[in-house]
Amino acid sequence: MNGTLERLGRIRELGIVGATVLLFVVTGLANSGFLSIDSFRDILLNASIIGLLAIGQAMVIITRNVDLSVSSTTGLSAFLAGVLLADHKGLPVIVVALACIAMGAAWGLLNGALVAYFRIPALVATLGTLYVIRGVDYWFAGGRQVNAADMPSGFLSLGTAKIVGVPVLPLITLAVLAAVGWGLANLRSGRELYAIGSNPDAAILAGVPVTRRLLTVFVLNGAIAGLAGVLWAARFGTLDATVATGKELDVVAAAVVGGVAISGGVGSAWGAALGALLLTSISSALAVLKVDSLAQYAINGALLLAAIVLDRLLALRLAARLRKKSRERSVETTPLAAEATR
């Protein structure tokens, strides 16, 4: 069964790659500027933060949960990074980044406790903390806005710096993606997340520490959101209490479009990152083709619905295949059992 699910996941990921390539080809034929190096670089930069958040969200959704508070955590983290750098000149960037990651992990710990210990549905719990964290952000900001001129140029250069022609921000996202992707595929704790998402009750009976795993995955997701806030501050420079408002839906859409089943137990961090790249590429293509920006929401919604329907069809097909194999085994074993009783 695991092998079948893995093959289905690869098909989904290859489909996303194919759709992205097709998008580039079609848009490039309409406007050759879309295929320029600068255009690719801008798409990578724009996809890096949403992709980073989608990687963390993938871990949560795999466990049959969701975290809607990531956008608020990102916004608060971004503003915290801006205030620390603006008010404390000379403070090392790594210290600021660690402070934001720790803050994000703390909010993730709250979410995890609400879901794992108090058994509050993740949708309800994280919807509540979405507003709580955003309220804290507004209180902390107090109407203040941090501008790029207030922050060190060395920090802001992270948003435009390149290594061998590749922007730094996508490389950071790629590093996190490699770590999370490897962990989900190779570590026992990573594989247990799939078991929890597939059947939480069976996972408990199998000895999986469900409470601990859920707590850990929410903490990791919050830490990633904290890091995303630092990258947001470096990328955009101008910060206030509204940073990343509404981005939680883009993050969930990216993960689901990338093949992470909303019903849990199926998907990968790589697919979530590819989903973010596809949605970002669509937004850029619409801008190049001068299509109304409102169409982006309709297209993203259509892709989300298509991904959910496809997940359902794949699940039904897999269930039918497993039932067929089960019947075949029972037919094969029945004569043997009858022979053994003679």
- d(CA 168, CA 260) in angstroms, rounded, equals 26
Residue 341 belongs to some domain of the structure: no
- Among candidate residues 258, 101, 69, 83, the one with its CA nearest the CA of residue 181: 258
Those residues of the chain that have pLDDT short of 70 are: 1-12, 315, 318-319, 322, 332-342
13 lies in some domain: no
- 329 located within any domain: no
Would you say 126 and 221 are in contact if contact means Cβ atoms under 8 Å apart?
no
Summarised one tens digit per residue, pLDDT across range 77-132 is 999 999 999 999 889 999 999 999 999 999 999 999 999 999 999 999 999 999 99
- Count of CB atoms situated within 10 Å of the CB of 69: 30
Which CA distances in Å does 163 have to 44, 175, 230, 302?
13, 14, 19, 36
Tell me if 278 sits within 8 A of 16, measured CB to CB.
yes
Q: Establish if 333 belongs to a structural domain.
A: no
How much is the pLDDT for 7? 55
Query: How far apart (Å, rounded) are the C-alpha atoms in residues 192 and 59?
Result: 11
Predicted confidence at residue 339, as pLDDT, reads 57
The CATH number that applies at residue 106 is: 1.10.3470
pLDDT, position 186: 95
- 328 is a domain residue: no
pLDDT at position 9, please? 52
The rounded distance, in Å, linking the Cα atoms of 99 and 223 is: 10
Whole-angstrom Cα distance, residue 61 to residue 58? Answer: 5
Which tokens is 129 given? 């903390």
pLDDT tens for 174-208 read 999 999 999 999 999 999 999 999 999 999 999 99
Closest CA relative to residue 210, chosen from 223, 221, 224, 197: 197
* Count of domains forming the chain: 1
Let me know if residue 57 belongs to a domain: yes
Look at residue 75 and tell me if it is in a domain: yes
User: pTM for this one?
Assistant: 0.90
73: alpha, beta or left, given left = phi > 0 and alpha = psi -120 to 50? alpha
- In a domain? residue 23: no
Domain membership of residue 302 as a residue range: 2-6+37-319
Residue 17: per-residue pLDDT: 84
Per-residue HEC secondary structure of 317-333 comes to: HHHHHHHHHHHHHHHHH
- Determine contact, residues 170/44, Cβ cutoff 8 Å: yes
